[in-house]
Amino acid sequence: MYVTGRTSGTHRSEVDRPETIEQTAELVTEAGGTGVAVRVDHLAPDQVRGLAERVDSEQGRIDVLVDGVWGGDGHLGWGKPVWEHSLEASLRMVRLGIDAHIITAHHLLPLVIRGPGGLVVEMTDGTAEYNAAFRKGTSLAFYVAKAAAHHLALALAEETREHRCTAVAMTPGWLRSEAMLDVFGVTEDNWRDALAEQPHFAISESPAFTGRAVAALAADPERARFSGQTLNSGQLAEIYGFTDLDGSRPDGWRYVTEVQDAGRPADTTGYR
C-alpha cells in the first residue's frame, strides 16, 4: 500500500500536524500489509505523475485508489460569510478539495482502469443528502470543496463504467482523528472524557472504522451496485457487519440528523 502526502519525517505541510506518512505506512505494515511512504504534493502535477510512474514500474496497476486529499483545516474561518473570509484561504480550500482530486484522477486512474474491477474512493465530509443544504456557520469554500466529492463520484462512475470499475464518495461520521482529539484535549484511550464538554461526541468513531468500510467495499464482488453513490461508514457497517475497534457500530450521520441537529439530548441508544 502506498501512503502519500506532504508531511514526512523531514517536511511538515501547512496543516502543521506531527503525524507523518512514514508513521502511517508503519501502521499498515503492523496490520499485516506492506506500507510504502511516498512524499507527494497532490497539487503538483509533476509529483503526481512521478508517483504514477513509480507505481506503474513497481506494481503495474492500482486496485484501490483512496483519494483523501484535503489539508484545509487551517483555512476554515467558520461563521464568516464569503466576503469576510480570506479570499486566499477560500481559494486554497477549493484547490485542495477539488483541483488536487482532479490532478490525482488524471494521473492515477489509467492505472486503476488497466484491469477490470478497480475501486476509486473519494473521501468527503457529509452525506450527499446532508450536504444538499448549506448550513449557516459553514465556510462557503469548505462546503463547495467537500460537496464536490459527490459529483466527482458520479462523474468518475460514468467515465470508468466501461472498464468495469467502481467509483464512490465516502464519508466517516464524527471522526475521532488525532486533530479532533487534540481539540478536546483527550486521547484515544480517554476520549470519553470529552463528553463533559460535548455530549454528542459520544457518537464519534475511530479512523479504523472508515478503513474497515473501505476494506469491506473492496472485498465485495458486487460493489459496482454502489458506483456513483456517496456512502458512509455507519451505512456500510450495517451492510457488511464490521464494527469499530470497541465492537460498536456508530451510525454517525443518522445520529447527527435525528438527534444532534434535531436538538435532542445526547443519547446514542440505537445509534451505535
pLDDT greater than 90 at residue 4: yes
Span 111-167, pLDDT tens digits? 999 989 999 999 999 999 999 999 888 999 999 999 999 999 999 999 999 999 999
Given the C-alpha cell 453513490, which residue does it identify?
229
pLDDT above 70 as % of the chain: 100
Report DSSP state, residue 221: T
Widest CA span in the chain: 55
- Look at residue 226 in the predicted model and tell me its pLDDT: 98
**Where residue 262 falls among pLDDT bands split at 50, 70, 90?**
very high
Q: In this structure, which amino acid lies at residue 241?
A: G
- Nearest one of 172, 135, 178, 184 to 23, comparing CA atoms: 178
186 contacts: CB under 8 Å, gap ≥ 6? 192, 193, 194
- Nearest one of 220, 117, 219, 227 to 164, comparing CA atoms: 117
| Mean of pLDDT values over 223-230 | 98
d(Cα 210, Cα 190) in Å, to the nearest integer?
A: 20
C-alpha angle with apex 211: 208 to 215, nearest 5 degrees?
A: 135
Tell me the β-bridge partners of 67: 122
Domains of the chain: which residue ranges? 65-260
Write down the CATH number for the domain with range 65-260: 3.40.50.720
- Look at residue 176 in the predicted model and tell me its pLDDT: 96
Per-position DSSP letters for 130-198, written without gaps between them: GGGSPPTTS-HHHHHHHHHHHHHHHHHHHHHGGGT-EEEEEE-SSB--HHHHHHHT--SSSGGGGGGT-
- Nearest one of 160, 156, 168 to 123, comparing CA atoms: 168
- Look at residue 62 in the predicted model and tell me its pLDDT: 98
Given the C-alpha cell 482502469, which residue does it identify?
113
- Look at residue 71 in the predicted model and tell me its pLDDT: 87
Span 76-109, pLDDT tens digits? 999 899 999 999 999 999 999 999 999 999 999 9
The pTM of the full predicted model, rounded to 2 decimals, is 0.94
Least confident stretch, 69-78, 105-114, 232-241, 261-270: 69-78
What is the pairing mode between strands 36-39 and 166-171?
unpaired
- Look at residue 137 in the predicted model and tell me its pLDDT: 86
**Where residue 235 falls among pLDDT bands split at 50, 70, 90?**
very high
